[in-house]
Copies of this chain bind each other. A is one copy, B any other.
Amino acid sequence: MDGLGYEMKHYWWVNHSQTFQQEIMGQYLWSPKTEAHGVRSHFYENMCSAVPGDLVLSFANTKITYVGVVLDFAISAPKPSEFGSAGANWSNEGWLLPVTWTRLETAVSPAGLINDLRPVLPSKYSPIHPLTGRGNQKAYLSEVDRRVVELMIPNKLLETLSMMEVEKAAEPRFAAIVEQLDDAVEASINSDTSLADSERSQVIQARRGQGAFRQNVVDIEHSCRLTGVTNRSLLIASHIKPWRSCANSRERLDGHNGLLLAPHVDLLFDRGLISFSDDGGVLLSHHLQRDDLERLGLQQAVMQSTGVLRPEQREYMRYHRSNVYLRTSVK
């Protein structure tokens, strides 16, 4: 805390393109994970660096009209259907960042303040051109200095937003959003007439780690890789590549696409706060706090290898590492 009475971890600036209205109405940001042909994008990777409580300036049509607060970590999610034909060239799987937006009483034009902004804009990855104040077409989510925000947003509003204590909010958005995504997939499976009834039923049971999928996982994995729990009553059959992201029934039922995990380990893995390397080492997201790990009693466990992954598991784990795991850019 300083004299201004607020302090957020990061300040972000998003350059909306065609999907401005959808993102504001839907209370989120959505981006592909990479540029075309898998080229890495600093602006897209920033989606995974945002944490609950961060502030976001929304820039569209030459103006900042909304300011938002991040509600949860980024979630791997398909391109929202409300985008319609907008962003038709984007990949279908991307990062969804839950944000709650507030409309400014008076929209602000950065171009009009460019002389004040210029000295505090980032020298690399700036969201706007430091001479003209016009948007950087390549930018999506950029990190900016707090002084950039202070120049454009009334101090009183900033204080109010920082008081939201989003980190302590009752309800992180993850569970609700994933349930919505899963429901949509389940509806499409239910209406897929190419599936036999028995297969459809198995695929739907697999959503909650039950039925044939669980049986298939148990044939391969015998205990929780972190805690060593072997008692089946205490273990969850967890998809490595999420059920909602699987390409077809084969992936949804494949025993190699699963791990048996104790419930707290399952949550960390689903949430992308941990992942595994091919040799079974545990990867920790920077978003996973050391004291949380300690309270969960997992601090020792994450130091050890959990046993080499089978070749068939590795493909799924590669998906988890690039699409679920919250690998944050190192500053």
Contact = CB atoms under 8 A, between A and B. Distances in A.
A170 interface: yes
A72 interface: yes
Interface stretch (A125-133, A263-271, A305-313): A263-271
Contact of A232 (B169, B231, B298): B169
Interface string A191-216: 00000000000000000101100110
Contact of A264 (B52, B168, B176, B262): B262
Copies per assembly = 2
Contacts of A176: 210
Interface stretch (A23-31, A80-88, A144-152, A288-296): A288-296
Contacts of A214: 170-171
Interface string A266-292: 111001000000000000000001001
Contact of A215 (B170, B218, B232): B170
A172 B263 contact: no
Contacts of A224: 295
B170 A227 contact: no
A205 to B, nearest CB: 8
A292 B232 contact: no
Interface residues of A, number: 40
Interface string A237-276: 0000000000000000000000000111011100100000
Contacts of A167: 232
B229 A295 contact: yes
Contacts of A171: 210-211, 214-215, 218, 232
Nearest to A175: B210
A73 interface: yes
Which of A171, A174, A215 has the most C-beta atoms of chain B within 10 angstroms of its own C-beta?
Answer: A171
B227 A296 contact: yes
Contacts of A172: 232-233
Q: Which 3 A-B pairs have the closest CB atoms?
A: A297-B297, A263-B263, A170-B218
Given A169-B232, A227-B295, A264-B264, 18 more contacts: A170-B218, A170-B232, A171-B210, A171-B211, A171-B218, A171-B232, A176-B210, A179-B208, A224-B295, A227-B296, A228-B295, A229-B292, A229-B295, A229-B296, A231-B292, A234-B264, A262-B295, A263-B267
Interface of A: 52, 72-73, 167-172, 174-176, 179, 208, 210-211, 214-215, 218, 224, 227-229, 231-234, 262-264, 266-268, 271, 289, 292, 295-298
30 contacts: A72-B233, A73-B233, A167-B232, A168-B232, A169-B232, A170-B218, A171-B211, A171-B214, A171-B215, A171-B232, A172-B232, A174-B233, A175-B208, A176-B210, A224-B295, A227-B297, A229-B292, A229-B295, A231-B289, A234-B267, A234-B268, A234-B292, A262-B264, A262-B295, A262-B296, A263-B263, A263-B267, A296-B297, A297-B297, A297-B298
